[in-house]
């Protein structure tokens, strides 16, 4: 079966952060209305709607979100609207569903979105909701948390490869420099290495500034076959490669604590599909939910040899003017992490880079990659996006 | 699966021998559904560890507490609570199984 090529003909997003007075539904509708304006697509043309959301049920008490949002948007009543969940990868999974439906010729026009409301929840409720993707029958029994998971990986990475807390902390410093230029970022301030290394301990060796901030936000995109894209926009971005993988949800099963196999295999598949290699990528938005994650992910994606990610960062390779800019948006660390929206937020940032319209522009960026991980290594989505030549 | 609290018991696939943290439903390696209890030795090695200072729901009164991944000589890694008795744990330290409490495995640091 020959699949059709698929392009992103529009993107939309809210800023990420504390969006006071904006509801889960309200934010999703805002992002979806923006994507329709950006793509010049009338809502009558949408043939399917996929929505990513992770903790709306537990935090807001609202389920069946996709039809509720579709109805408020006034989408056609004859189309399917479906919510997907894969922890922090939820929005990328929605994107992947839309991609294959268009590629397979089932639909010509699909709206995909992701949304999360976090900042109105109590800390107890929020922690309980997020921890719900850790296996409650095994590792959850120990009282493990998400920062705890990344602390376990950071300790072992430092032990095996000599990665330092300075390297790990520089992820936060770099991403704040980037985020200070991004009007969609929750934090716009520059912070120093000392600020990071002297901040409050959360779970040794990780401190509060090694953890990304909870945020509210929604992001959306519209996908159609590449051959139809020109009817709507001259700024279409093609999806060159895409993959979603299943990993080991516990460290016990993983058998090591220095890499996420789900990332390694998603990256390999996406590069194979695109016919590209890591050195072809001009800009990356990856899942820096905790500072050590950026170092581990940059290795697992194939950009650096295992154990060399920390050095690459200190050498400036991953800065916006470096050879391989990582998280020029500020990443999850500074832009914020509305868990069910983040994957499409990354797509938004990369699309803007490839259009040449980003506030923290990587010069001449033509090919970009997004990496969105969910749970404690359970899910990973990678997409490779390419400007039309 | 018999529930013993003072013995370190995991599930062993009767067909391929893979060790699995209970509950075991199906062997992810060979698809077998036949398991037997296997008692492990008591001493393992710390692969990595952390101290949790911001707890999830239900663990508030226990904070701060230590979590470690313990490598057992039989070939399985166990997520565990670690009793350090005031000592600073290190990767490679030997630890000894204490018991299973509230469904969590507890180990203590052995002095070097």
Residue B44 with chain A: CB contacts under 8 Å: none
Q: Are A24 and A120 contacting, i.e. CB atoms less than 8 angstroms apart?
A: no
Nearest-angstrom CA–CA distance, A146 and A148: 5
Task: Look at residue A181 and tell me if it is in a domain.
Answer: yes
Percent over 90 (pLDDT), chain B? 82
Mutate one of A125, A142, A246, A248 to test the B interface: name it (highest B CB count within 10 A).
A142
User: Are A158 and A223 part of one and the same domain?
Assistant: no
Residue given tokens 């529930």 in the structure block: B3
Q: What is the pLDDT of residue B1?
A: 42
Q: Are A204 and A151 contacting, i.e. CB atoms less than 8 angstroms apart?
A: yes
User: Are B48 and B85 part of one and the same domain?
Assistant: yes
How would DSSP label each residue in A132-192?
Answer: TTS-TTTGGGGT--HHHHHHHHHHHHHHHH---HHHHHHHHHHHHHHHTT-TT-S------
Size of interface A-B (CB pairs under 8 A): 89
Min mean pLDDT across A257-261, A309-313, A335-339, B52-56 is at: B52-56
Q: Taking all residues of chain A, what is their mean pLDDT, rounded to a whole number?
A: 97
Where do runs of H (alpha helix) occur along B28-85?
Answer: none
Q: What is the pLDDT of residue A1?
A: 66
Q: Which residue has the higher pLDDT, B44 or A123?
A: B44
> What's the pLDDT tens digit per position in A207-260?
999 999 999 999 999 999 999 999 999 999 999 999 999 999 999 999 999 999
User: Are A192 and A330 part of one and the same domain?
Assistant: yes
Task: State the pLDDT confidence band at A124, using cuts at 50, 70 and 90.
Answer: confident
Task: Look at residue A132 and tell me if it is in a domain.
Answer: no
Q: What is the pLDDT of residue A143?
A: 95
> Among the options A32, A88, A203, A212, which is catalytic?
A88
> Among the options A176, A210, A287, A337, which is catalytic?
A337
Q: Using beta carbons and an 8 Å cutoff, which residues of B are at the interface with A?
A: 21, 23, 47-59, 62, 65, 67, 69, 76-81, 91, 102-105
User: Are B64 and B87 part of one and the same domain?
Assistant: yes
Nearest-angstrom CA–CA distance, A266 and A373: 10
Q: Is A62 exposed, middle or buried (0-12, 13-18, 19+ CB in 10 A)?
A: middle
CB neighbour burial string for A290-325, b if at least 16 within 10 angstroms, e if fewer: bbbbbbbbbbbbbbbeeebbbbbbeeebbbbeeebb
Q: What is the pLDDT of residue B6?
A: 84
Task: Look at residue B31 and tell me if it is in a domain.
Answer: yes
> What's the pLDDT tens digit per position in A70-108?
999 999 999 999 999 999 999 999 999 999 999 999 999
User: Are A68 and A87 part of one and the same domain?
Assistant: yes
User: Are A375 and A281 part of one and the same domain?
Assistant: yes
User: Are B19 and B70 part of one and the same domain?
Assistant: no
- Of the partner residues A139, A155, A252, the one whose CB lies closest to the CB of residue B50: A155
Range of the domain at B18: 9-39
User: Are A16 and A113 part of one and the same domain?
Assistant: yes
- Of the partner residues B57, B65, B80, the one whose CB lies closest to the CB of residue A124: B57
Task: Look at residue B65 and tell me if it is in a domain.
Answer: yes
Task: Look at residue B1 and tell me if it is in a domain.
Answer: no
Q: Do the Cβ atoms of A255 and B77 come within 8 Å?
A: yes
Task: Look at residue B95 and tell me if it is in a domain.
Answer: yes
Q: Do the Cβ atoms of A202 and B53 come within 8 Å?
A: yes
Q: What is the pLDDT of residue B35?
A: 98
Task: Look at residue A342 and tell me if it is in a domain.
Answer: yes
Q: What is the DSSP letter of A88?
A: B
Task: State the pLDDT confidence band at A389, using cuts at 50, 70 and 90.
Answer: low
Residue A147 with chain B: CB contacts under 8 Å: 54
Q: Which two tokens mark A38?
A: 């950006």
User: Are A301 and A354 part of one and the same domain?
Assistant: yes
Q: Name the residue of chain B whose CA is nearest to A147's CA.
A: B52
The number of distinct structural domains making up chain B is 2
User: Are A248 and A234 part of one and the same domain?
Assistant: no
User: Are B25 and B58 part of one and the same domain?
Assistant: no
Range of the domain at A40: 6-122+215-238
- Of the partner residues B50, B57, B103, the one whose CB lies closest to the CB of residue A152: B50
User: Are B68 and B102 part of one and the same domain?
Assistant: yes
Q: Do the Cβ atoms of A155 and B56 come within 8 Å?
A: no
User: Are B50 and B101 part of one and the same domain?
Assistant: yes
Nearest-angstrom CA–CA distance, A295 and A77: 45
Nearest-angstrom CA–CA distance, B41 and B112: 19
Task: State the pLDDT confidence band at A178, using cuts at 50, 70 and 90.
Answer: very high
User: Are B34 and B51 part of one and the same domain?
Assistant: no
The SS3 assignment for B83 reads strand
Task: Look at residue A137 and tell me if it is in a domain.
Answer: no
Percent over 90 (pLDDT), chain A? 96
User: Are B48 and B74 part of one and the same domain?
Assistant: yes
Q: What is the pLDDT of residue B111?
A: 82
**What CATH number is given to the structural domain containing B102?**
2.40.50.840
Task: Look at residue B3 and tell me if it is in a domain.
Answer: no
- Of the partner residues A145, A252, A257, the one whose CB lies closest to the CB of residue B56: A145
The number of distinct structural domains making up chain A is 2
| Cα A90–chain centre separation | 9
Q: Do the Cβ atoms of A144 and B55 come within 8 Å?
A: no
Task: Look at residue B77 and tell me if it is in a domain.
Answer: yes
Task: Look at residue B75 and tell me if it is in a domain.
Answer: yes
The SS3 assignment for A83 reads strand
User: Are A342 and A382 part of one and the same domain?
Assistant: yes
Q: What is the pLDDT of residue A163?
A: 98
Task: Look at residue A127 and tell me if it is in a domain.
Answer: no
Q: Do the Cβ atoms of A202 and B50 come within 8 Å?
A: no
Task: Look at residue A155 and tell me if it is in a domain.
Answer: yes
With 60 as the cut, is the pLDDT of residue B14 above it?
Answer: yes
Q: Do the Cβ atoms of B67 and A141 come within 8 Å?
A: no
Q: Do the Cβ atoms of A144 and B81 come within 8 Å?
A: no
Task: Look at residue B27 and tell me if it is in a domain.
Answer: yes
With 50 as the cut, is the pLDDT of residue B2 above it?
Answer: no
A356 Rama class: left (phi>0) / alpha (psi -120 to 50) / beta: left
Q: What is the pLDDT of residue A125?
A: 87
Cα distances (Å, whole numbers) of residue B91 to A38, A101, A253 = 52, 48, 19
User: Are B32 and B84 part of one and the same domain?
Assistant: no
User: Are B55 and B33 part of one and the same domain?
Assistant: no
> What's the pLDDT tens digit per position in B54-109?
998 889 899 999 999 999 999 999 999 999 988 999 999 999 999 999 889 999 99
Q: What is the pLDDT of residue A274?
A: 98
User: Are B16 and B66 part of one and the same domain?
Assistant: no
Given the cut 0.90, state whether the ipTM is greater than it. yes
Q: What is the pLDDT of residue B4?
A: 53
Is A337 among the catalytic positions? Answer: yes
**What CATH number is given to the structural domain containing A326?**
3.40.47.10
**Nearest one of A94, A373, A54 to A245, comparing CA atoms:** A373
User: Are B65 and B28 part of one and the same domain?
Assistant: no
- Of the partner residues B23, B55, B102, the one whose CB lies closest to the CB of residue A137: B23
Residue B78 with chain A: CB contacts under 8 Å: 252
């Amino acid at each position: 079966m020959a699949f059709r090529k698929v392009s992103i003909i529009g993107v939309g997003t809210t800023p990420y952060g504390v969006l006071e007075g904006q509801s889960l539904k309200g934010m999703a509708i805002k992002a979806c209305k923006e994507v329709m304006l950006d793509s010049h697509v009338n809502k009558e043309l949408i043939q399917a709607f996929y929505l990513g959301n992770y903790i709306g049920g537990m935090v807001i008490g609202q389920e069946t979100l996709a039809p509720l949002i579709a109805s408020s948007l006034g989408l056609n009543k004859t189309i399917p609207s479906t919510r997907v969940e894969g922890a922090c990868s939820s929005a990328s999974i929605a994107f992947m569903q839309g991609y294959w439906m268009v590629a397979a010729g089932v639909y010509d026009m699909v709206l995909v979105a992701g949304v999360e409301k976090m900042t109105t929840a109590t800390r107890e409720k929020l922690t309980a909701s997020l921890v719900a993707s850790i296996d409650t029958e095994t590792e959850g029994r120990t009282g493990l948390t998400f920062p705890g998971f990344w602390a376990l990986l950071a300790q072992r990475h430092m032990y095996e490869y000599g990665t330092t807390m300075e390297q790990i902390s520089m992820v936060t410093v770099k991403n704040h420099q980037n985020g200070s230029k991004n009007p969609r970022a929750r934090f716009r301030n520059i912070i120093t290495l000392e600020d990071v290394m002297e901040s409050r301990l959360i779970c040794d060796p990780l401190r509060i500034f090694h953890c990304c901030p909870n945020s509210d936000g929604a992001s959306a995109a519209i996908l159609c076959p590449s051959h139809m894209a020109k009817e709507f926009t001259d700024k279409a971005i093609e999806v060159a490669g895409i993959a979603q993988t299943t990993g080991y949800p516990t460290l016990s099963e993983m058998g090591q604590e220095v890499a996420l196999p789900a990332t390694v295999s998603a990256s390999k598949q996406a590069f194979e599909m695109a016919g590209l290699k890591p050195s072809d990528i001009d800009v990356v938005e990856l899942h820096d939910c905790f500072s050590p994650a950026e170092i581990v992910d940059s290795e697992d994606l194939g950009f650096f040899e295992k154990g060399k990610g920390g050095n690459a960062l200190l050498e400036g390779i991953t800065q916006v003017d470096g050879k391989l800019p990582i998280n020029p948006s500020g990443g999850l660390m500074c832009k914020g992490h509305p868990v069910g929206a983040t994957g499409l937020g990354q797509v938004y940032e990369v699309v803007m880079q490839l259009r040449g319209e980003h506030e923290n522009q990587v010069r001449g960026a033509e090919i970009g990659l997004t990496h969105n991980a969910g749970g404690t290594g359970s899910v990973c989505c990678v997409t490779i996006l390419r400007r039309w030549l | 699966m018999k529930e013993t609290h003072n013995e370190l018991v995991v599930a062993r696939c009767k067909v391929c021998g893979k060790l699995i943290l209970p509950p075991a439903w199906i062997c992810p390696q060979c698809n077998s559904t036949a398991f037997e209890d296997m008692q492990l030795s008591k001493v393992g090695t710390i692969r990595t560890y952390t101290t949790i200072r911001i707890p999830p729901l239900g663990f508030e009164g226990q904070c701060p507490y230590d979590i470690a991944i313990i490598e057992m000589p039989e070939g399985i890694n166990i997520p565990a609570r670690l009793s350090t008795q005031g000592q600073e744990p290190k990767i490679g330290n030997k630890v000894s199984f204490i018991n299973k409490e509230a469904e969590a495995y507890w180990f203590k640091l052995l002095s070097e």
